[in-house]
Amino acid sequence: MALTGPVFAQQRIPPTPESAPVAPPYAEYADLVLAAPVIVDATIHGVTRLKGPDAAGVLPGQARLYVEADVLALIRGDTPLPPRIAYVLDVPVDSQGRLPKLRKARVLLFARSVANNATLLQLVRPDAQRNWTPGGDSLTRRITQEALAPDAPPQVTGVGNAFHVAGDLPGTGETQIFLTTADGRPVSLAIQRRQDEQPRWSVALSDIVGEAASPPARDTLLWYRLACSLPPALPDSSLNAMESADAQIARDDYQLVIRALGPCDRGGAL
């Protein structure tokens, strides 16, 4: 069977029954959801080991499989899927060359359609098959809803200009930092310093920063857009219009935001 151009997935080893449930890493699942126009909850029906030209480029210690799976639910997709779909998967083998037991395994597939073949899917990246877990399923559906919402935050591509305006009292003032986005929609950060108060920062998705604006909650799409896209330090190019003292305050305020966001934890392998 000739299969052209698929992206092959490394099968994840399921946790042992004794393992305590671990919350899935939001950023890792967001990467997958945003890359996948088709997301499927499925049960593996059967596998066929591919050899010869169909297994070209398989890494040592792995095997290439043609996988057939029964669709349980289409979580994301523009068109319905047939009851049974297929895709290509690279999996590790043991020292005897034996395959892992995949039949009847329940999985989440992050994929794209293949032109002129309604039954064949192409996984979007090498780890785009995940073992199904209640937490992974719930998180996948939540991120999908966030991403498809009309007011979903845009992809952040960098940092634009920054400004700092000193207040009337020493140590007070406001810094505003404008971000660049993939579709040109406005996103900005505002950091306010007031006397006898901790600095307060917020993010705005419009040209106007209101008093009610607030930081994004962790493990939301807006948090992900910021935490996983912003550079670790405010670029010098953002400070060209500022005096040195104001520029340093802007740098400090930017670091306050970065620390508050925390790391973009993709969690490693599941």
**Per-residue model confidence as pLDDT tens digits over 3-39:** 544 444 444 444 444 555 677 999 999 999 999 999 9
Q: How much is the pLDDT for 268?
A: 54
pTM comes to 0.86
Distance between CA atoms of residues 34 and 217, nearest Å: 19
Q: What are phi and psi of 119, to 5 degrees?
A: -90, -15
Distance between CA atoms of residues 181 and 160, nearest Å: 10
Query: Model confidence at 182, in pLDDT bands (50, 70, 90)?
Result: very high
Which secondary structure element, helix H or strand E, spans residue 97, and what is its range?
none
Q: How much is the pLDDT for 23?
A: 77
What are the structural domain ranges in the chain?
A: 26-148, 156-261
Task: Identify whether the C-beta of residue 104 lies closer than 8 Å to the C-beta of residue 43.
Answer: yes
| R_g over Cα of the chain | 23
Domain 26-148 has CATH 1.10.287.4070: no
Residue 237 or residue 17, greater confidence: 237
Task: Identify whether the C-beta of residue 88 lies closer than 8 Å to the C-beta of residue 64.
Answer: yes
Q: How much is the pLDDT for 14?
A: 47
Of 136, 50, 135, nearest in space to 99 by CA: 50
When mean pLDDT is compared across 101-115, 172-186, 203-217, the lowest value belongs to 203-217
Q: Which two tokens stand for residue 248?
A: 């340093």
What residues contact 230, with CB distance under 8 A and at least 6 apart? 156, 159, 179, 257, 258, 261
